[in-house]
Amino acid sequence: MNKISRRTALALPLGLAASSSTIFNSLAKADQPVRGGTMVMIVQPEPSTLAHYAVTAGNIPPIATQIYEGLVTYDWDQNPQPNLATSWETAPDGKSIIFKLREGVVFHNGKPFTSADVQFSFMEILKKYHPFAPLLLAELTGVDTPDEKTAVLLLANPAPYLMKALAGRDLPIMCKSVFEGTQILQNPSANKPIGTGPFKFGQWDRGQFVRLDRNEKYWKPGLPYLNHIIARFIPDAATRSAALETGEAHFAGYSAVNYADLARMKTNPMLDTTMKGYEMTPALSVLELNAKHPPLDKKEVRQAIAYAIDRKVILRDVMYGYGKPATGPLSSLFKTVGFYTDDVRKYDVPDRLDIANKLLDGAGLLRGANGMRFGMHLEVNSFGEQWLRQAEYLKQALAIVGIDLTLRSEDTATWLRRVYTDYDYDINEPFLSQGVDPVYGLNKQYLTSQIRKGVTFVNDSFYANPEFDGILNEAMREPDHDKRAVLYKKAQQILAEDCPLVWLIDVQYVSVFNRKLHDHTTGPLGTQQAFERAWLET
């Protein structure tokens, strides 16, 4: 605890300096927050449900985190800050965390918030139904409630990553009386959520919008400023951009606006963009190589593929300059918390094509009459146009070293079935979110135990390395932050050498917003935390 506090103290001025210049600009230009107004944000695509505790699709949190809150929130340096919990303390053995809960918090249905709600949320809802629970809450054995305002999370082993996942986005707190004695997944509150947050659920007009209304009884005095937030769903990308350009919508985060449109948006005096607010949503675009399909079982071949690709071309032509060439299995966003290293085998080197050709020659894969060594299928990511562009580039890039790619585009359900259930693929180009701690991104992608047929976005490249598994499992339970950092550095070096995946781009999301909207991005979770301080110029 002390250690973290020291780090906070050191990092705080840095964090403030780093926070978006646009926020300061808007503060300078507009004097005082104004109460009232309706903010329209674009959410893409329309969520299928608002049952945030059972489905973790990325389009749910922008709406759900206005309603559900977590025990803590995070500052720009990703250190936990009080929210529904006012203070916390981890036991010396790391096997329990005591949370003191806030007084005077009521749910939207009028019920007071107590430790019983924390216990019920964790043990009866999240641990049983949250998709990440087997990873996040694997060590959680129970929640003690010595009194109404104290909740103790009991752990089988230390779980240092848990302190990173207690915001409303990852582990929301629900009202016990709403769910008790009901079938959790069939609960009517799934699509009419009841939480403690600054906004209450108002109306869901399917195919159109979700309306949220100000919570007059919110526990932070004077907040929120806005009367309403409306999340609009516009399926067509060009129309989404148009809605921002006409002022019909004020905010669009994540990939709601095509990278291709961003340059045009920037020339509009009414609009501005920011890359802040994505510090706790690291993601990589990668290639998964099916090690069951020769010659991808050979390390040299996988490395040759990694050398053959010019990440700078993808960055420029596919991502329109947003993002960074990926150096390894962890997003560089983990630099903030000290887990990232680029001290690994480097694939972006000047003589990369020579190395690739040599590796392939060495593996006995000589060029045939047509100049090709062997052919492979690439499964095109079905989540949007840019992945097809990327696939087209990859076909050209790999042809240079003599690998003949055939692109295969299918719709989402077919694609997922082919890759993760039938394993009927050679190379796949998914987009991997990494969560707030290396535990999320690395464990599910590379542990031998994560080779699980029929489960999407896990270890489908059949990477199995007992030494690596040991390091990852040790790092997961190591309470000491610096020791964890050493372990993760080692893990990254091993992965970069074995090259089970090819890491392409360290993804950078962009938010587009109307200049009349202020204080929208106030922390590293960005759109995945409440817009309680956001306000609109009148």
Partner 1 sequence: MRFALYMGYRLATALPVIFGIMVLNFLLIHLAPGDAASVLAGESGAATPEYMDALRHKFGLDQSIGMQFVTYVSNMAHFNLGYSYRNDADVSSLILERLGPTSLLMLTAFGTAVALGIILGLIAATGRNSWRDNIISLISLVAYATPGFWLGLMMIVIFSIGLGWLPTSGFDTVGAGHEGWAEVWDVGRHLVMPAVSLALFYLALYARLMRSSVLEQTGMDYVTTARAKGQTERRIMTGHVLRNALLPIVTIAGVQAGNLIGGSIVVETVFGWPGIGALAFNALQSRDLNLLLAIFFMSACLIVIINLAVDVIYVMLDPRMEI
Residues lying near partner 1 in the complex (CB under 8 A):
38, 40, 45-46, 48-49, 51, 55-58, 129, 131-132, 134-135, 185, 190-191, 205-209, 211, 228, 230, 232-236, 238-239, 242-243, 245-246, 248, 411-418, 420-422, 432-433, 440, 444, 452, 454-458
Is 451:461 a contact under the CB 8 Å cutoff?
no
What is the distance of C-alpha 110 from the center of its chain? 32
Rounded least distance, CB 162 to partner 1, Å: 16
Work out how close the CB of 418 gets to partner 1 at its nearest, in angstroms, rounded to a whole number.
7
At its nearest, how many Å lie between partner 1 and the CB of residue 195? Answer: 17
CA nearest to 520, candidates 126, 252, 213: 252
Q: Which is nearer to partner 1, 9 or 238 (CB)?
A: 238
CB of 133 to partner 1, least distance (A): 8
User: Min. distance of Cβ 279 from partner 1 in angstroms?
Assistant: 18
Task: Determine the Cα–Cα distance for residues 339 and 178; give it in Å rounded to an integer.
Answer: 40
121 secondary structure, DSSP code = I
Using the minimum distance from each CB to partner 1, give the nearer residue, 9 or 57.
57
Nearer to partner 1, 126 or 485 (CB): 126
Task: Decide: 33 and 225 in contact? Cβ < 8 Å.
Answer: yes
In contact, 499 and 299? CB cutoff 8 Å: yes
How far, in Å, CA of 334 to CA of 439, rounded?
Answer: 12
Q: Give 234-285 as a 3 state SS string.
A: CCCHHHHHHHHHCCCCCEECHHHCCHHHHHHHHCCCCEEEECCCCCCCCEEE
The sign of the dihedral angle between the CA atoms of 146, 150, 151, 155 is: negative
**Least distance from C-beta 433 to partner 1, angstroms?**
5
Of the pair 85, 419, the CB lying nearest partner 1 is at: 419
Nearer to partner 1, 1 or 270 (CB): 270
Between 131 and 364, CB nearer to partner 1: 131
Give whichever of 11 and 249 is closer to partner 1, judged by the CB atom.
249
Residue pair 40/251 in contact by the 8 Å Cβ criterion: yes
* Structure token pair of residue 314: 């993808």
CB of 129 to partner 1, least distance (A): 8
Q: How far apart are CA 94 and CA 139, in angstroms?
A: 11
Nearer to partner 1, 304 or 416 (CB): 416
CB of 274 to partner 1, least distance (A): 22
Say how far apart CA 378 and CA 375 lie, in whole Å: 10
